[in-house]
Each structure stands twice: as C-alpha cells, then as structure tokens.
Amino acid sequence: MITLKSEGPVGILVDVMTSDMPEHDRTTEPALRAVQAVYDTAVKEAKESSKNPELTPLGQREATKRAISKAREALKSHEDTAERLEAKVKATRSKALELPSGVQRDPVVEREIRDRLIASTKDPLMVGMDYLRAIERGDHCFVNAVENAPQAFPLIDADPRRRGEEAKLAMSPMKAQVEAQEVEHARYRQIVDTTRTELRRLAERYDIHR
C-alpha cells in the first residue's frame, strides 16, 4: 500500500515513485524532493502573496507573479541536472558497447567482409540476421564490419542495428549499471517535467502569463 506524505501533484508523484524504491536507491530520493520543494514553495508563496492584506490587488498580483517566476528560475538548475544525468547514461551505455578488453579490431579483414557483402547484393534483412547471429557468437570482426560500413553503402537497417545494440548491452558486464542510471534519469526527468507543467498550471490559476 502506498503511503502519501504530500498534498501537491509533484509531491504525490514523488511519493508513488519512492514507495517501492529499493534501499540502495534511497540516495536518489533527496534529489527528487528538492525538485518537489520548488513547486511546493511556489504554491505557498503564491497563495500568501495573493491574500496579503498589506498589498493592493495589483501588488498581490505582482508578488504572486514573482513567486512563480522565482520557481521557474530555480527549476532551471534541476533541468540542467536532468541533462547531465542523460549525458551520463549515454556515456556509460557507449562504454558498455565497446569491444571487450583484449579484443582488437582488424580493419583489413573488416574491409574484406564489407566488400564481399556489398558485392553479393545480399538483402539487408538477411545481412541483419547474420549481424545479430554474429553478436550472439561473439564474431566481433563481422559485427564491426557491418556497423562501420560507409553511409553510402549501409549494410543493415535501423531496426537490426537497434536490436544489435540491445543484444550487446545484455551481454555487457555494465548492463546493471546502465539500467540503474537509466532509471535514475527517467525518474528525475519525469519529476522535472511534471514540475514545469504544474508551475504553468499554477500561473494559469492566478491568471498570470509570461
């Protein structure tokens, strides 16, 4: 059963995300709560400003507008963090897809393989199947020959290339690391995107436009 500790939409989403979070993932919760705080603070300050008896209606509106603008500005640093997490995932994934340690490329043999495939006018679908089987059996030379074909003479389509990447990642010792980083980024990005949406709705509630 999920225990909700928050009232706002951003906080509730964080509550749901963290309700079944493994203990080793708990270190990421403070980062999510920090994004939540941007929205919660904006809600609190906007409400206080809109009802401040010491301000005129125009002053209340301007104070509310400043509260929301401040929140949008604060969210930018979290958007930057989301981008860094995405870059981190891409870097780790790229490293996981590198040739295994000790395996060296042989450009000459790769070129011969490519030349034979191009000369055979073999259907890209069949080459794609050969490519996936080569990944399974660890034929790095054939895999590299196909992947590094010139753009003018592609040997496989996008789908087998994508499937091949997933197959290589599944066999990589870094698979768990990549998956953990992908989950971390996905959670953080979702909270940031939700906060941006809810800040827009908050502004609309007070009839405030950029």
Structural domain includes residue 125? yes
pLDDT in tens, 138-163: 999 999 999 999 888 889 999 999 99
Q: What is the pLDDT of residues 112-133, one digit of tens each?
A: 999 999 888 888 899 999 999 9
Q: Do you know the residue count of the chain?
A: 210
User: Are residues 60 and 28 part of one domain?
Assistant: yes
Residue 125 shares a structural domain with residue 31: no
* 64 lies in the same domain as 21: yes
| pLDDT one-digit tens code per residue, 28-46 | 899 999 999 999 999 999 9
Tell me which residue range forms the domain holding 35.
9-97+175-205
Within this chain, do residues 81 and 127 fall inside the same structural domain, yes or no?
Answer: no
Q: Is 37 domain-assigned? A: yes
23 lies in the same domain as 119: no
Average pLDDT of the chain is: 92
**pLDDT digits over 169-197, tens only?**
999 999 999 999 999 999 999 999 999 99
* Whether residue 140 sits in one domain with residue 84: no
Same structural domain, 87 and 27: yes
The total number of structural domains in the chain stands at 2
Residue 54 has pLDDT above 90, yes or no: yes
Closest CA to 149 of 111, 97, 116: 111
Residue 62 lies in a domain: yes
Q: What is the CA radius of gyration of the chain?
A: 26
Q: Specify whether the CB–CB gap between 53 and 28 falls below 8 A.
A: no
